[in-house]
Amino acid sequence: MEALRIYTEKPYQLQGEVIISGAKNAVLPALAASLLTAEEVHLTNIPLVKDVQTMLTLLAELGAEYNLKKKSIAIRTKKILSEQAPYQLVRAMRASILVLGPLLARRGRAVVALPGGCAIGTRPVDLHITGLQRLGADIKIEHGYIVAEARRLKGAEFEFEKKTVTGTENLVMAAALARGETVLKNCALEPEVSSLCELLVKMGARIDGIGEETLRIRGVEELGPASHRIIPDRIEAGTFLVAAALTGGDLVLREVEPAHLQALVDRLTFSGARIEKAGRRSLRIIGSQEIKPQDVTTAPYPGFPTDMQAQFMVLMTQASGTSIITETIFDRRFAHANELIRLGASIEIQGDKAIVRGRTPLSGAEVVATDLRASACLVLAGLVATGQTTINDIEHLDRGYEKIEEKLKTLGVKIDRLKNNNNHRMGAKHE
Ligand code: EPZ
């Protein structure tokens, strides 16, 4: 298992510029959408992260051919060769569920393994299923697979019981080729959903209400070719903003979309950081010496993103007072707290709340990552934990961050990637 090791003799003050990559959570639905047409879809600003490779492996199994050059891809599925998204691929990446809607719409049949839970929660897909049933799909769950069939999906009205990002994305993609009009209510408002809708419109879909809670989709007979640029990754950008706030640094982020970061920028500004536009698609952040504590509650966009909760928790360990972080989206997204406690943080979990008492000096240690954003939180903690911090099982990190250690090195951080680091697996030498 690979690990990252951060050497922190004295606290860092990150200085310099970092270029933010394309959004993992935008490129995955965009790639799935390419199944909806027999024509070529061309995507640029692709983040070279593990989840993209996993999605391409899955799409190739379904019949896609692609040519990935640097950060651009031309992908085309002339014919669907298989309707099955196998368990081992879906287990590796839950976002594989995003092929369900397109396969059903294009092919009339989809057999997709149930994703199951993961480190951050139970992660049901019941809303995806009931939504597609409303569009006329016949869906059975057999041997851990979703078996969905529909000669031709029919437009209908459907209201999501709760906001779901990939649930909205699946339904929009399915409705694009359904017969008649579909009205989806209580849709997720994340920028990645709007960007997917913009790609579908470029492919010939007819979608009204993009960016609003109600989407109106009038189905068409077929979709055509399109070119589309993947939007910047607001969570990677947020992670670097927190890194600057945490270390009292002075950082310029290039290739960002400031409008997608408002909730986080508000919280970081309140904590004492100064954040300003530094050009059309750039932000500059200057961290403060004293970090103000504050309570934060995660919420669907445009609220404070759950994908930034772990990273913000590290910042609050260095704040001068107590903060309460409430996680409302996932039922088990505090695993990173135990690892932060091992570095010296004072955090108490009470149900959906984490009470973080700052300021606590952190000292480096061996820690283990449990999921993608928990890994990012531990890298941030390593920047302020004196001594050496080794983050194990960083395969999680590689799923969603492109070359993070390279980007940190350019900002002055001493960080190495270790191959086959298993000493955290030899079990405790002493009880
Ligand atoms: C997307 O996951 C993101 N992944 C997640 O990012 C992100 O944390 C999440 O949205 C919330 O913003 C991608 O876009 C690939 P949801 P998704 O459906 O779509 C419940 C990362 O780190 N729910 O919006 O799976 C669910 O349990 C990942 O990049 C149902 O009850 O999340 C949760 O409580 C982690 N039934 C809430 O809705 C359903 O059918 C929001 O989940 C679907 C969801």
Task: Tell me which residue has its CA closest to atom 10 in ligand 1.
Answer: 165
Return the exposure string of 290-327: e unless at least 16 CB atoms fall within 10 Å of the residue's CB, then b: ebbbbebebebbebbbbbbbbbbbbbbbbbeeebbbeb
> What's the order of all strands across the beta sheet hosting 215-218?
157-159, 181-185, 215-218, 206-208
Nearest atom in ligand 1 to 98's CA: 15
Name the residue at shortest CA distance from atom 1 of ligand 1: 165
Q: CB of 28 closer than 6 A to ligand 1?
A: yes
Distance 166 CA to ligand 1 centre (A): 7
What one-character-per-residue DSSP string does 370-424 give?
A: -SHHHHHHHHHHHHHEEEEEEEE-THHHHTT-SSHHHHHHHTT-EEEEESS--GG
Each residue's pLDDT, cut to its tens digit, for the chain (431 residues) gives 899 999 999 889 999 999 999 999 999 999 999 999 999 999 999 999 999 999 999 999 999 999 999 999 999 999 999 999 999 999 889 999 999 999 999 999 999 999 877 778 878 999 999 999 999 999 999 999 999 999 999 999 999 999 999 999 999 999 999 999 999 999 999 999 999 999 999 999 999 999 999 999 999 999 999 999 999 999 999 999 999 999 999 999 999 999 999 999 999 999 999 999 999 899 999 999 999 999 999 999 999 999 999 999 999 999 999 999 999 999 889 999 999 999 999 999 999 999 999 999 999 999 998 899 999 999 999 999 999 999 999 999 999 999 999 999 999 999 999 987 766 665 544 43
Q: What is the pLDDT of residue 425?
A: 62
Q: Which of 163, 165, 328 to mutate to test the pocket of ligand 1 (most atoms within 8 A of CB)?
A: 165
The pLDDT of residue 420: 74
Nearest CA owner, ligand 1 atom 4: 25
- Ligand 1 binding pocket includes 401 (Cβ within 6 Å): no
The first and second tokens of residue 224, run together, are 């055509």
Q: Which of 118, 187, 197, 377 is catalytic?
A: 118
The residue to mutate among 24, 164, 189, having the most atoms of ligand 1 within 8 angstroms of its beta carbon, is 164
C-alpha 289/C-alpha 375 separation (Å) is 25
The interaxial angle of helices 126-134 and 100-107, nearest 10 deg, is 20
Give the DSSP H or E segment for 52: helix 50-62
Residue 82, pLDDT score: 97
**Does the beta carbon of 376 sit less than 6 angstroms from any atom of ligand 1?**
no
User: Which residue has its alpha carbon closest to ligand 1 atom 30?
Assistant: 124
Tokens read off for 284: 């500059």
Token pair recorded at residue 379: 């890298």
| Cβ of 34 less than 6 Å from ligand 1 | no
Ligand 1 binding pocket includes 84 (Cβ within 6 Å): no
Q: Other CB atoms closer than 10 Å to residue 195's CB: what's the count?
A: 23
Q: State in Å: Cα 124 to ligand 1 middle.
A: 9
Asked if 120 and 336 count as a contact pair (C-beta separation under 8 A), the reply is no
**From atom 24 of ligand 1, which residue's Cα is the shortest distance away?**
164
CA 310, 312, 314, 317 torsion-angle sign? negative
Cα dihedral 360→364→369→370 (10° resolution): -40
Give the per-residue pLDDT at 423: 64
Q: Give residue 286's Cα distance to chain centre.
A: 25
Joined tokens for residue 58: 């899955």
SS3 131: helix
Q: Whose CA is nearest to atom 8 of ligand 1?
A: 307
Question: In angstroms, what is the span from residue 134 Cα to ligand 1's centroid?
Answer: 21
Q: Cα separation of 42 and 421, whole Å?
A: 39
Q: Which atom of ligand 1 is nearest to the CA of 95?
A: 15
Q: Does residue 204 have its Cβ closer than 6 Å to ligand 1?
A: no
Which of 21, 24, 25, 169 for mutating ligand 1's site (highest number of atoms within 8 Å of CB)? 25
CA distance 125 to 135: 16
* Predicted local confidence at residue 293, as pLDDT: 98
Cα 261 to ligand 1 centroid, rounded to whole Å: 18
pLDDT at 428 (0 to 100): 45
Active site residue 187: no
Is there a contact between 30 and 228 (Cβ–Cβ < 8 Å)? yes
C-beta separation of 296 from 325 below 8 A: yes
Tell me, using a 6 A CB cutoff, whether residue 239 lines ligand 1. Answer: no
* Ligand 1 site, residue 161, Cβ cutoff 6 A: no
